Amino acid sequence: MSSKHIETQAIRTQIERSQYLEHSSPLYLTSSYVFEDAEDMRASFADEKQRNIYSRYSNPNTSEFVEKVCRMEGAERGYAFASGMSAVFSTFAALLNSEDHIVSCRSIFGSTQTLFNNILPKWNIATSYFKMDELDTIESLIQPNTRVIYAESPTNPAVDILDLQRLGDIAKKHELIFIIDNCFATPYLQQPIKFGADLVIHSATKLMDGQGRVLGGVVVGSSNFIQKIYLFSRNTGPALSPFNAWVLSKSLETLAVRVDRHCDSALKVATFLESHKNVNVVKYPFLKSHPQYELAKQQMKLGGNVVAFEIKGGIEAGRTFLNAIKLLSLSANLGDTRTIVTHPASTTHAKIPEDVRLETDITSGLIRISVGLEHPEDIINDLKQALEN
């Protein structure tokens, strides 16, 4: 593993130059590749040669993107997907057998929950959940058929922090595959492999792209697991497109400067919200009042770009607040240059019964802000006028 800094890896990891000696990597918009002769073709299909055969298997642009993420996360190998969810699904489909069992944190992305609760049970794969603040219950959930411990940190949308080292130690003790969705932190802020993760998953759609343009996903980690994920994906087809890989690889070149600014503005927004009379609680990992502030400081370089707060007045106040927003966007994405505001209880989580919703800390007045790259004063001014509307 090279000792270069993460910023340099993100910029200087590059596929071989073509005969034109271009400075920036070109886009290889091709679905297949040609062979010299029958022997070359035979050896390539027999895996005796490392080369591009077909873009469902590999492509120079996806290889560059994956190699960058591997170097940034400190991983051996990876594979890139069309979306974050295809990365999550393919990982479980490739590694688990029917009757296997997953232990997962309850506070995970909604579609991942749907995968665990409604889709994997078709193959008799069940999931037991632990609450983010009850890590001592994890060992009691482990069964003889448990294969995986799965979590996200920071969590979505409540921005709680899980102790990754503790999870890694439990996984190691019980010989389980430890998988972390590192989408909220990015490899710039947190590298779960250092805490024992075997696999790290990203929705590249979020901060990796950072400009709300393309969908993408990636899984990196130990070679033996990635080989299984690669063979599954090569045959089932969830591959990232070369164009999206080219966009994402260019985006990684600016990840560090973008995320620095996102985090700086997010801390300013969180500090402002904490002082506002219409706000009950503010959750931001690098605010001293965050319940896991010390842990966040140990695990993360900065606090990330997502701030959660509880507006006084519950569901109705949340709706009124959304309607009063003028500059910021009401959208389902996060990690964009544009600041995005959501009110889960009246929108994404409206169909979920209140008691179930509360188990993942989605209170009626919870507002999630994905702080963008506009001037922080303009972000704060819009939030202020909407809170006082």
Ligand X SMILES: Cc1ncc(COP(=O)(O)O)c(C=O)c1O
Q: Which residues bind ligand X (CB under 6 A)?
A: 83-85, 109, 111, 152, 156, 181, 183-184, 203, 205, 215, 217
What's the min distance (Å) between Cβ of 236 and ligand X?
Answer: 16
- Write the DSSP symbol of residue 125: -
What's the min distance (Å) between Cβ of 350 and ligand X?
Answer: 17
What's the min distance (Å) between Cβ of 184 and ligand X?
Answer: 6
What's the min distance (Å) between Cβ of 166 and ligand X?
Answer: 20
Please, which residue, 255 or 386, has the CB nearer to ligand X? 255
Please, which residue, 215 or 367, has the CB nearer to ligand X? 215
HSE-up (13 A, CA, CB side) for residue 172: 11
What's the min distance (Å) between Cβ of 23 and ligand X?
Answer: 30
Please, which residue, 100 or 152, has the CB nearer to ligand X? 152
- A 10 A CB-CB count for 356 gives 11
| CA proximity to 227, closest of 83, 95, 74 | 95
For residue 95, what are its two tokens? 């590694």
The answer to whether residues 75 and 200 touch, using CB atoms and an 8 Å cutoff, is yes
HSE-up (13 A, CA, CB side) for residue 166: 15
| CA proximity to 9, closest of 191, 171, 151, 158 | 191
Please, which residue, 164 or 215, has the CB nearer to ligand X? 215
**Structure-token match 């969810």, residue found:** 85
| CA proximity to 92, closest of 138, 143, 148 | 148
Please, which residue, 9 or 205, has the CB nearer to ligand X? 205
What's the min distance (Å) between Cβ of 206 and ligand X?
Answer: 6
How many Å apart are CA 212 and CA 188, to the nearest integer?
Answer: 19
Please, which residue, 52 or 329, has the CB nearer to ligand X? 329
How many Å apart are CA 199 and CA 291, to the nearest integer?
Answer: 27
Please, which residue, 181 or 361, has the CB nearer to ligand X? 181
What's the min distance (Å) between Cβ of 288 and ligand X?
Answer: 25
Please, which residue, 174 or 250, has the CB nearer to ligand X? 250
Nearest-CB residue for ligand X: 84
What's the min distance (Å) between Cβ of 186 and ligand X?
Answer: 11
Q: Residue ranges of the alpha helices (H) in the chain?
A: 6-12, 38-45, 60-73, 84-95, 110-114, 138-141, 164-173, 186-189, 223-236, 242-252, 255-274, 293-299, 314-324, 354-359, 376-387
